[in-house]
Amino acid sequence: MKIKPSDRVIYAHNPLAEVLCQVRFDRILQLEANAPDAFQEKFAAEKYPKVAKEQVAAFQMSVKDKESIAVSSPSDLPTIHHFISVDGQRKVSVNADSLTFTCTTYERWEIFKRHFLEALEAFSTIYPHATAIRVGLRYKDLIERERLGLEGVPWHELLAPFVSGVFAADDFFETPLTDDGTVVQQASQTLLKLTDCSLLLQSALLRSIDNSGQQAFLIDSDFFEDFSSFKVDLERISSALDVLHTSADAVFRRCIKDRLHDALKSRAA
């Protein structure tokens, strides 16, 4: 199965909120109990000088006296070390299982890919026995109608039916559905096996927390390919990423209708 292709474009009103690229490894025991100090000193300190640490915990619900209580317990997931650029727009996250590059200001694929491979090359030099098992590329697009001059335009006029869900269900309601708060929550999740990779496609209606009534629609496209373990090979991973990116180029265009495509003001890449 392949996604219907579309021309590669650049949007003047870029809807991308976040782009992530990740390589997962067989667990690196050296990083299970130790921070990636060498990675910080030899690579991250110059371009990603801000440091943060994330401790993952597992939560379980227990019931006592008819009340539910969330109880945290130790997790076997290793601590995540984040190395962040001065402007906060780029981040390299490392733990014993993965290396992830995150960008909140996306320019072009070639630039994004270069930043990721630069970090991965440094990591694989420091940890030469790292073996890759999955490569992933994830795009989070956020559609905000007010920013595009589309305030009040129904979601079903902007999004494909498989994304807009109940907003496109004309035969479900007695009268046409409006965006006046009738729909409290809308979310969907689909896992597809494509010809060259897999895609976890998620979408959700988001609401502002300031009681303004504003809505936004999130389209979350997570492309990935699983492998039998192989020693980190930059050329092989680069080729895998290009395959994922080819599918990613097409999926967003398939999720939106012409009216939204035009409002985003596209031009040829």
For residue 176, what pLDDT is reported? 64
Closest CA to 100 of 58, 134, 57, 50: 134
For residue 13, what pLDDT is reported? 93
Judge contact between 102 and 18, C-beta under 8 A: yes
In whole angstroms, give the CA distance from residue 60 to residue 68.
Answer: 10
Judge contact between 89 and 104, C-beta under 8 A: yes
* Angle 200-85-103 from CA coordinates, rounded to 5°: 20
Give, in order, the Cα–Cα distances in Å from 183 to each of 28, 45, 73, 189, 198: 45, 47, 36, 18, 30
User: Which of 56-65, 143-152, 224-233, 238-247 has the weakest average pLDDT?
Assistant: 56-65
Judge contact between 20 and 138, C-beta under 8 A: yes
Domain positions in the chain are 9-56+71-268
176: enclosing H helix or E strand: none
CA 122 to chain centre: 23
Amino acid making up residue 179: D
In whole angstroms, give the CA distance from residue 22 to residue 216.
Answer: 26
User: Which of 61-65, 155-159, 174-178 has the weakest average pLDDT?
Assistant: 61-65
How many other CB atoms sit within 10 Å of the CB of residue 127?
A: 19
User: Tokens 């992933």 appear where?
Assistant: 136
Give, in order, the Cα–Cα distances in Å from 207 to each of 83, 168, 182, 213, 243: 30, 19, 12, 7, 34
Closest CA to 225 of 191, 196, 190: 196
CATH class of segment(s) 9-56+71-268: alpha beta
Amino acid making up residue 107: E
pTM score of the predicted model: 0.88
Q: pLDDT tens, 21-66?
A: 999 999 999 998 899 999 999 999 999 999 999 987 655 666 665 5
In whole angstroms, give the CA distance from residue 165 to residue 41.
Answer: 48
With bands split at pLDDT 50, 70 and 90, how would you rate the model's confidence at 236?
very high
For residue 240, what pLDDT is reported? 95
